[in-house]
Structure 1
Amino acid sequence: MMKNNKIIPIALACFTAFSASASAAEIEVGGFIKGNIRYIGGEVPYNTMWIGSGAMQSESSNKTQISAQESRFNAKFTHNGVVGFAEIDFVGSDQGNGVISNSYSPRLRHAYIKYEDITFGQTWSTLVNTSTFPESADLGGPLVGEAMIRQGLIRYQYGDWKFALENPNTFGTDETGEKLSTDNDYIPDMIVRHDTKGDWGNISVSALVRYLDPDNTSEVSFGGSAAAKFHTFGKDDLRIQLHYGNLGRYVGTVAARDIYNGEVETTTAGTIAYRHFWNDTMRSSIFYGRTVTEKEQTDRYQVGVNLFTNLTPELKVGFEVGRYEVMDTINQLNTSENCASDYVQFTMQFSI
């Protein structure tokens, strides 16, 4: 065992080397602290955000929750042309509860390396155009119709083109209705995307190709996606997403499966949002999102309208009302009852 007089110089040398490396890198810290007051009343159970799932509970209920779970923190490191980015928040944690301390554990949102035209790590899927997310109090807006997925990937960008291999993961059920195994997910999903942008806004068009091979089901599937943000009058803008094909888990935030009872699912989904500025700082967005599936015959939508204003450049407050509804086709395979809930949300967000 080393003596203490040898351990101390070694520790000092390691610390000095780390400090020199850190000081050479450019570090940017960001994120925001966000507080929400959220009320939900209806047959769909309370959720911190509306995702594409939903099943009728035994009785209608009313619930209010005050939370800061959506607060997030990130750091960006730049050194010798290499960029590293990592971000965490606290949404979806199973650790905290409202009994005593609400001690929610962090979750990883992003962690990636970017060097020249290569991005490698976990971040937004290449299918996702974040500029088309509406401004909303409810996290992400109408997730039920959006492409809003983060996962591991390696991506190459050539001008306005992006080519990516992304993490394969089959979400769905076999012929007996049992959850599919992902043990045979060995070929990465492939995405090609083209971006066009100008003073008028931007448009992205993407194509997805996947090889699905779970539990004796071997299929090649295809899907397409288009998303756009258009500047209209003054500071107003229109945001649109349209998705069709074998997109499965890529759209709707679990509103659609990749495979349903052994058959590849076909999904039609989309969102539309219009943001209007009443003055320099006060604005409203009205948005609608919906996903419909062919095999499972699910049909879910969310609609909302809000009012935001900035008290300072870094501090904004917003008020939103909306509705989430399940309108699935009732048959021998899908026997759950349709349901709906209304929500009201107040939010305050301080950007770092």
Structure 2
Amino acid sequence: MVMLLPMPAGAQAVAEDDLTRLRAAMQAMQARIDQLERRLAAPAMMAPTSAPAVAPRVVAASPTSGGVQSPDVTARTVSPPAGSASVASQGAPAGTGGNGFRIGATDFKIAGFVKGDMLFSRYSAGDSATNVLGRDFALAQSVPVGGVRASGLLTDAHAKQSRLGFQTSTPLAGSPMTTLIEMDFQVQSPPAGTERALNPYTFGLRRAVLGYRGFAAGQDWSTFQFVGALPETADFLGVTEGTVFVRQMVARYTQAFGRGWSASVSIENPETVTVSRTAATLSDHDDDSLPDLAARVGWKGDGAELSLAGVLRAMRANPGGTGAAATAAGWGLSIAGVASLPTGKGDDVRFMLSGGRGVGRYVGVSFTPDAVYDVATAELDPVGMTAGFAAYRHYWTTKLRSTAMGSYQRANNPLGTSPLLNRLAYSVAANLFWSPLPKLDLGAEFRHTYRELESGVSGTLDRLQFTVKQGF
């Protein structure tokens, strides 16, 4: 027979305390589980929807690393700004992929690349000027002309084209508000003498743009330019003479339609660039009253992209600052595209064809002026031009590839202008790139550039360039 004896009062109090502590511990554990479940559900609930964007087609040559995550950092893929190309443009297959991180409701991503170049150049008509931009990248208007002897072998090395981009994406009323700030060291010309010891270069703004629901505002690529057509090259541009190339303040709206179609329209910062009838020096006037108006229609299908763009301008110049200003209309059209070839390797072709009157600053980094200013009559005479390029990229293996490219520009200068004005430029180039590791590109490129003035004198550039680029 077992007898149940009452528990002493002291022991009963101890048991009740243990039970209370156990219940408190279980409640704390449940609260921690609920907190973890909310954190795991947050990325899916707050993931930004993709903003309308027109970005260059990227063909993966090698896997991209996913970045390193800590337990307290949520990996994110940040939406690019509306209507803006990615940080890694110009056909580079390695790209700058990877993950970002989140602070509060905002996703962040830092991306870019470190790029080092060594260039060996020879000019047919004598040495170029010191610290000219044409020593950093191929620029036809900096090629000497009319000289009686060729230059010696000129060697340059720099890392000015290294690039850093900072992107954010914040959910706002069901759509992401995106921003991008992108900078490099090539956009600012260095002062003379910087190669003596420390080689410091100015960190300059490339782009600063925000986007929301198809709207974009800030400094960005012009709507008149289709960045996706640019070929992969060791040079900064590679097809400088034949490409539209402008970054400036824009206010743009992009609307996507069905079956890969989209349309963009923008107002953009105006600037009229002129020469006089007796001199070939470019002059920026900053006298414009109306913004430039640009529009583009794009189509993206299976392995192909096409773009048709136009720009309208109301040019204005008043060099003396007194009296009536000279005005003239300008216009330009540009068709461009990229298409994969049915080789099964990632081969593609890229092209652009542009033309118009009064759009010199939009094409070829102002190889031609927008207009000729007649001092005697105070009138602007728009300069016509035609430009274009084509490029073919071939993959030898998944890690080894080449691009052959050619570009061209012809100016139709008005009668009676200076014989020192640029009339014609073209270049041909071929390269070989190897990507032994993710985001690492090693390349070699040879190019030949020709420049001719209105007087008929000419000069050429032959250049061998080696480059290394590591994306992050």
The TM-score, its normalising length taken from structure 2, stands at 0.66
Please point out which of 339, 352, 355 is paired with 1:241: 352
- How much has 1:200 moved relative to structure 2? 3.3
> Cα distance 1:343–1:165, how it changes in 2: closer, same or farther (>3 A)?
same
Q: Say if 2:376 is the partner of 1:265.
A: no
Distance 2:440 2:350 in 1: 24
Higher-strand-fraction structure = 1
How many equivalent pairs are there? 327
Other structure's SS at 1:138 match: coil
Asked if structure 1 preserves the Cα contact closer than 8 Å seen for 2:300 and 2:306, the reply is yes
Matches within 5 A, 1:1-352: 23-42=104-123, 43=125, 45=128, 47-56=135-144, 59-61=149-151, 62-80=153-171, 81-91=176-186, 92-95=188-191, 97-159=194-256, 160-175=262-277, 177=279, 180=283, 182-215=285-318, 216-232=325-341, 233-234=343-344, 235-246=346-357, 247-261=359-373, 262-295=380-413, 296=421, 298-330=423-455, 337-352=457-472
| Matched-pair contact (CA < 8 Å) for 2:347–2:394 | yes
Residues 281 and 55 of structure 1: CA distance in aligned 2, closer, same or farther (over 3 Å): closer
Contact 1:93 1:106 in 2 (8 A): no
How far apart in 2 are the matches of 1:205 and 1:311?
Answer: 37
Check the 8 A contact 2:434/2:441 in 1, yes or no.
yes
How far off is 1:312 after superposition? Answer: 0.5
One-letter code aligned to 1:93: S
In 2, distance between residues paired with 1:55 and 1:260? 22
**Letter paired with 1:53:** Q
Residue identity in the other structure for 2:190 = D
Asked if 1 retains the 8 angstrom alpha-carbon contact of 2:294 and 2:312, the reply is yes
* Bigger Rg, structure 1 or 2: 2
- TM-superposition CA deviations, 1:104-131 (whole Å, max 9, x none): 1101001011111110000111111111
CA distance in structure 2 between the aligned counterparts of 1:118 and 1:139, rounded to whole angstroms: 29
Secondary structure at the counterpart of residue 253 of structure 1: coil
Q: What is the one-letter code of the residue matched to 1:305?
A: A
Q: In the aligned structure 2, how far is the partner of 1:225 from the partner of 1:281?
A: 33
The more displaced of 171-180 and 341-350 is 171-180
Deviation of residue 193 (structure 1)? 0.6
Q: CA deviation at 1:52?
A: 3.8
* Structure 1 consecutive aligned stretches of length 4 or more whose deviation exceeds 6 Å: none
Q: Which amino acid in the other structure matches residue 355 of structure 2?
A: Y
SS in structure 1 at match of 2:455: coil
What is the CA deviation profile of residues 115-166 of structure 1, one whole-angstrom value per residue up to 9, with x for unaligned ones? 1111000011111111111100011211111111111110011221100001
For residues 251 and 452 of structure 2, the distance between their equivalents in structure 1, rounded to whole angstroms, comes to 38
1:323 Cα deviation after fit:
0.8
Between 148-157 and 175-184, the greater mean CA deviation after superposition? 175-184
Summarize the Cα distance change of 1:63–1:271 in structure 2 as closer, same or farther, 3 Å threshold.
same
> 5+ residue gaps in structure 1?
1-20, 332-336
Moved more, 96-105 or 200-209: 96-105
TM-score, normalised to structure 1, is: 0.88
CA distance in 2, matches of 1:253, 1:239: 20
Residue 269 of structure 1: how far off its partner (Å)? 0.1
Contact 1:51 1:254 in 2 (8 A): no
Q: How big is the alpha-carbon RMSD for the aligned residues of Structure 1 and Structure 2?
A: 1.8
Show the counterpart of 1:5: none
Gaps of 5+ in 2: 1-101, 129-133, 257-261, 319-324, 374-379, 414-420
| Alignment-mate amino acid for residue 248 of structure 1 | G
CA-CA distance at 1:31 after TM superposition: 0.4
Q: In structure 1, what is the Cα distance between the partners aligned to 2:292 and 2:177?
A: 26
Q: CA deviation at 1:180?
A: 4.4
SS at match of 1:242: strand
Identity of aligned residues (%): 27
- Cα distance between partner residues in 1 of 2:278 and 2:157: 41
